[in-house]
Structures are given as C-alpha cells and as structure tokens.
Chains A and B, each alone.
Chain A
Amino acid sequence: MSALSGAVKPDTLSVSLKTLTPLYTGGIAQNGEQVHPSGLLGSVRRFSCLLAAAVGDAEFEEACWGKVTGDQAEHHAKAVALSFDTRDLENVELPWRVQCGERNKGWYFGLAQQGGLQIGVTPLHSLSKVHANLLRVALRIQIRRATFGAKDQFGLGVLGVLDAEALPAAEPLVNIEAPLSYTPGLHNAFFVRVPFDCPAPSAWHARLKAGLCCRGALRNALRDPTDPHDRLRDLRHYVMGWFDPHPDGSARKRLEEYGSAVNVSAVYPTDDKHCEIRVWGVFPHTRPPQFAYERGTVMGKLKAALAGSAPALLDECHRPRVLWCDAGNDGADLRTLLNKLAGLPT
C-alpha cells in the first residue's frame, strides 16, 4: 500500500487577476511600495460579509472569518486561508497631485502597485459548502463590479480577470433569507458603470482626474448652495466620507468622521477602443446604519449628478452612458440580481 494513499490535498481556488487601476494597501510610510496581506484580506472579508448580510446569513462572518472577541471558549480561527502571490506586481509612481477645477485643493498620491496578482482561497475543513460558495460568489461580484484594497474611493483598486472563464467557479444562489437589517449589505448596494466609446487616456493623471472629477460632482450633489446653514453637511460627510485633517478634539467633529460609502474608480480600458469608470457603494455603510431614511434622496441626487457630469469627464468622449444598478431599488428580486451581478445563471 502506498504511504500516500488517502492523502488529502488542499482544495485551493486560485484566481489570477490583473490591476485595471493601481492597487494600494497602505504601509508604515503611508506609501504603497508593497502590498500588505491584511489590506487585501480586509476588503475580501468586508465584501463577503456584505453579500452574507444581503442573503440573511447571520452566521457567515464568524463561521468563515473566525471569532476573537467575547467569550474565550467560543474563540476560533478562520475557516479559510487566503494567500497572495504578489511577485508579478510592480511599483507605479502616481501623480503627486490631481486637481479637478481651480478651487479644489486636489488629491495626493504616491506609489501603488500594478501588474498581475494571484489570490489563493483555501477552505478548511470547518467551512460549510454553503459558506464556501458564498465566498466564491462574493469574489465574483467583487471582481466584476467592485474594488479591492484602500483608496478605492479615490480611483484605485479595480482588478480584473484575463477572461470570464478565469472567474472563480461558483454555484448560483438558490435560497436566500431576508436581509440583515442591523449591518450593511449588498441589498443596499449600488453599482454603476460609465462606459466611454474611446480608448483610455495613456497618462495616469488623466485617468485619475476623470474619476476624481466624477467623485467631486457626486459630493457637490449633496450641497445646497442656497442653504447658508449647509444642512446637508452631516449627510454629505457620511455618504462621501470625511475626516478632520487638523483635529481639535471637538466631539462634534469626531462624530462627523466617516469612511466613504461611495467608491469611484479611475478610468480603465475595457478594450483597445473603449474605457469606463466604475462607481459602487453601499448606503448606509456603517454598523449601526445611519441616515437610512435618506437613502432614496441620496440615490436620486447621486444619479442626477452622475448623468450631468459624465459627458465632461473625458475630453475625447462626450457621450458616455451611465448604467445604474441599485439593489435597494431595483424592482427585481434580490436573488436574481445578486446572481446577475456575479455573472451566474439567474
């Protein structure tokens, strides 16, 4: 009898990706000279939990990603191992400052990464088949419609596969429960594509600028120039993110500090003759949710702003389309929509 008979190999799902916009995961010098596993894991974890919340699976997060809080007897490790092969990534110097309009102070960039990236996902024995499939579906949606890493609200972190066949294999979602109301989820997500019928600009400055101008237009949509009291201020800070660069410690200012609910990509090529901008987000995006009653208003303003600003984003292309998908107000049933977003049979 062979010594190796009955040996179990890891059931690793290996996904080969390429950067469509540069990838950034921070660093001790606040530059992106290398990719940090925790930065990538964080975005994969968060996105999979957004899907789990949408399908009403309250157990997924702890079952898949482990538990290290609360009663120590209940602590357990992750039931999935992620690995990141970043050897085919290389540093890219991004423009130091990108401005959109003269009044705008601009956005500042340093180094990021571009090239090829392999993500390995290995479910361990304790991960159920349902949860393993949920993770795969989430990865498919994240690759097709969302972003990875940090600074994805400022254009970075769009990854793509070489062809549709390279997406992680997954089974379509069949039975889903009512979404979890206490935590953000894809049931409140919106995914937008702004395709242009022209090649992507060759310089990163122009690509980033188009995305950031788009972002600027979305933020401005949540201002009312006729209101001297700026009553939309709190809502704007919540939706588009804000932090005080010179904190004075006041309680009010600290309360206004949020990460952005809206991510806007830089322009990236879809083929030699076309390019697009990707916008996505979840609103409300915090736990506990806030401003949920304003969701309809916010979506309406963002949609109008995007339609109005898109034609001016790229000098060469004046007739972009704006393709909206709002899971919170789509009309289609959620299961069908999620399968569609994942590119799976509905």
Chain B
Amino acid sequence: MKCFDWLADWSDRNDGELQQQPWDLQLLLRPSRAGNDDQLKQHRKDFVDNQAIEERRGGRVFPVARTLTSRHWQDFKAAGLVSDPEENIDVGDLPGGSARLVLKFRLVQPLLTAEADSFTLFDNALRKDPLFRLPHLSAAAVKGLAADAYQRAFPSEDWRRLGDDDPARTRAFRLGDRLGSARRLFGIADAKAGRDEEDTGTGTRECLEPGSAIGRLQFTPVWFEKIQFLIMNPKEPSTERGQLPISFEAVAPDQEGAVDITYFSAPGFGESDERTVRTDLARLVWALAEWWPVLGLGAKRLAGYGTIVPLEGRIDTYGWSHGAGLHSERRSGEGSWGELAQWLNEET
C-alpha cells in the first residue's frame, strides 16, 4: 500500500535529498522516481552501492552485505506487538480450555517472503507492513506452513486420491484426519458453498456434508528486525556461466523470531474437553517441531532459505486441570518444541 500524496510531494525534489532518507523510505521512493527500466536499474544500483553494502575492515577492507535494522522495531516491540516467551502472557480472557502457544526460534539462513506490491525497487521484495515497514511472515503464511507441516506429520494414505484439486484434497484430508484434529485446528472450507447459494437463491446449503467450519487456531504474523539484500546468479546451461543476476530482499539470518498461536476452545459446543484440546495441540506442536527445522519457513524454503533452529517453547493455558485455572509450561533449547509436544501428549 502506498500513500500517493506523499510520493507526489517527492516528485520535484532532487536525488541528493533522496540519498539522505532512511533506507526504508528510499525503497519506497526510488521506484516512483524511475521513468523507465534503465532508470529503475540505476536506482537499484545506487541503493545497493549506498545502502546494501558496507565496508568491513580486517587485514584489508572488504565490501560486504550490510544488515539493515528497521527504524521502528523498538517502538513496535515496546507496544507489545512482537511476541516473546519472556513477556507476560495473559490467557485469562479467553474461553475456558483455550491456550496460547509461543514458539521462539533462531533464523539460520535468510528468509524470503512475497511482497504484495507489484512495483518495487527489487524484483523480489519482502512483505512489509504498510505503516512501519517492518518485514514479516504473514499470519496466513504461518497458517499455511503449519497446515503443511501437519499434513506431512500425519499424512493420509494417498494424497492424490483425496480429490481432483488442492482445495478438495485439503478438505478431504481435514475431514478424514484421525482424531479430528486437522478439522478443529485449521477449519474446513466448503467448496460447494457458493454454488449451493446460487442454486437455491436463499443461501441455504443443501449438501449433507459439513459446510465451512472456522479453525480454532488464531495465527499472528512473525515480525523481524533486520533485513539484507541478496543476489542469485543462475547458470545458463548453454554456457555454464551466470547471465542474469536476480536481486532479492531477505530477512537477515542470525536473528530471533517467535510464532504466536492461540487455540480458542469452544466450551459448550462439543469436542472441547481438555483431552481433545491437548490432543490437537500435541499433534500440532509435534508436527512443527519435527518438520519446520528441516523444511524451514517462507519462500524457497526447499532450497535452503528460512532454515530455523528452535530456541524455546511456551504454552499458557486457561481452564485446564491445573489448580487455579491459569498455567504456564516452558521448555528451552533445540529440543524444546518436541518436549512441549510430549508434555501435551503425556496427559491425553
């Protein structure tokens, strides 16, 4: 999302003023000042030379990739918008039987995400929030990655026989999942809903199968503080040399992130006893603990981007059978997520 008035204000200012702006504003301003492809390339080069590279002194001086820090990170964090297992987590306002899960990790390799804006300085820009320009993995992406890990950890007999396309297969998988956890955790979408409404003209669904059901998990974005710029130079098979370098924005490695997931129980609506909630969460956390560290997060993760190492896991519950109703369970270290899954599983 862009503020066009603000961009217009900049249209008659000179490049010297542009150079003085913080890097995140330059990323926004430069594309709007480019009238053609060559000018865009020049802006990209100027940005890389002045912002994305710095000199490091060892025995000699080396140009190296610079890690850029988001200006608003500390304010964002102070406002309680960045999840952290160290923070006080209050789950007392949630429906009885609910839980909040915070899984902290260290990013070992750069993480790539897809920016929704189509006109950016770099062809492959990071997704950033429109106001503070903080890079993040969207809540929808986290849900997709979690559902993917779950499907791999608790697969159906034959994925391809579940349906003709991905929505149909996903629905069939979640409905057929043993113990019903996938349906409760991620919900199901009724692929026929729109057509049924059209057919009857009343919005009443006539199919006997369950329609749409909202999942009990609430996901939040994973925010990051630092970014860097990368370049890939794929080889051209006919010459076996790189021909067309591709530039990327990436979340920089060697920083921490936290996945924050809330499980909303539904007391009074069935399947909401503690055993069911524990089963659902044990399966979810186990899937994430086993599959996310080897598959990574974000885009191009199968190519090795977005590799993570678990650091800490914490679950806060409300209305479970632990004395006063509120309970917090924490584990730390690379095996922490798996230990948390085992703790959840022990009492199911």
A residues in contact (CB < 8 Å) with B: 2-4, 6-10, 12, 26-31, 33-34, 36-38, 40-42, 46, 66, 77-78, 80-87, 91, 93, 96, 110-111, 120, 122, 124-125, 183, 241, 243, 257-261, 285-288
Q: State the Cβ distance, B49 to closest chain A Cβ, in Å.
A: 10
CB distance B64 to A27 under 8 Å?
Answer: yes
Q: State the total of A-B contacts with C-beta under 8 angstroms.
A: 158
> Apart from A7-B154, A287-B237, what are 17 other A-B pairs with CB-CB below 8 Å?
A4-B341, A6-B178, A28-B230, A28-B247, A37-B109, A37-B303, A38-B304, A78-B302, A78-B303, A83-B307, A85-B108, A86-B108, A93-B58, A110-B62, A111-B58, A259-B239, A259-B242
- Asked whether B345 is an interface residue with its Cβ less than 8 Å from the other chain, the reply is yes
Closest to B341 in A: A4
Task: Please provide the 6 A-B residue pairs with the shortest distance between their CB atoms, ordered closest to farther.
Answer: A37-B304, A259-B240, A259-B241, A29-B63, A287-B237, A3-B279
Cα A34 to Cα B67 in complex, Å, equals 12
A40 partner residues in chain B, CB cutoff 8 A: 304
- Asked whether B159 is an interface residue with its Cβ less than 8 Å from the other chain, the reply is yes
B residues 214-260 with Cβ under 8 Å of A? 229-235, 237-242, 247, 253
Q: State the Cβ distance, B233 to closest chain A Cβ, in Å.
A: 7
Contact of A27 among B65, B279, B307 (CB under 8 A): B65
B residues 290-348 with Cβ under 8 Å of A? 290-291, 293-296, 300-305, 307, 309, 341, 344-345, 348
Interface string of B258-295 (1 = CB under 8 A from A): 00000000000000000000110011001100110111
Given A4-B341, A28-B247, A37-B109, CB of A85 within 8 Å of CB of B238: no
Closest to B346 in A: A2
A86 partner residues in chain B, CB cutoff 8 A: 108-109
CB distance B304 to A3 under 8 Å?
Answer: no
Q: Chain B contact residues (Cβ within 8 angstroms of A): what range? A: 35 or more
A111 partner residues in chain B, CB cutoff 8 A: 58, 62, 64
Q: List 24 A-B contacts (CB under 8 A).
A: A3-B181, A3-B278, A3-B283, A4-B283, A4-B345, A6-B154, A7-B153, A9-B153, A12-B294, A28-B53, A33-B56, A37-B300, A37-B304, A37-B305, A38-B303, A83-B109, A84-B307, A85-B309, A86-B109, A93-B58, A93-B59, A124-B302, A258-B239, A260-B240
Cα A285 to Cα B238 in complex, Å, equals 9
Contact of B302 among A42, A82, A257 (CB under 8 A): A82
A87 partner residues in chain B, CB cutoff 8 A: 108
CB distance A28 to B52 under 8 Å?
Answer: yes
B residues 152-194 with Cβ under 8 Å of A? 152-155, 159, 178-179, 181
B305 partner residues in chain A, CB cutoff 8 A: 37-38
CB distance A10 to B152 under 8 Å?
Answer: yes
A37 partner residues in chain B, CB cutoff 8 A: 109-110, 300, 303-305, 307
CB distance A41 to B239 under 8 Å?
Answer: no
Given A26-B231, A288-B238, CB of A81 within 8 Å of CB of B294: yes
CB distance A8 to B296 under 8 Å?
Answer: no
Cα A10 to Cα B153 in complex, Å, equals 8
CB distance B60 to A96 under 8 Å?
Answer: yes
B114 partner residues in chain A, CB cutoff 8 A: none
Closest to A46 in B: B235
- Asked whether B48 is an interface residue with its Cβ less than 8 Å from the other chain, the reply is yes
Q: State the Cβ distance, B182 to closest chain A Cβ, in Å.
A: 12
Cα A229 to Cα B317 in complex, Å, equals 82
Given A34-B253, A285-B240, CB of A2 within 8 Å of CB of B345: yes
CB distance B63 to A34 under 8 Å?
Answer: no
Among the interface residues A10, A37, A125, A261, which one has the most CB atoms of the partner chain B within 10 A?
A37
CB distance A3 to B65 under 8 Å?
Answer: no
Cα A34 to Cα B344 in complex, Å, equals 39
Among the interface residues A83, A96, A285, which one has the most CB atoms of the partner chain B within 10 A?
A83
Closest to A290 in B: B238
Cα A216 to Cα B287 in complex, Å, equals 53
Given A96-B60, A288-B238, CB of A82 within 8 Å of CB of B303: yes
Interface string of B43-71 (1 = CB under 8 A from A): 00000100011001011101111000000
Closest to A1 in B: B179
A77 partner residues in chain B, CB cutoff 8 A: 302
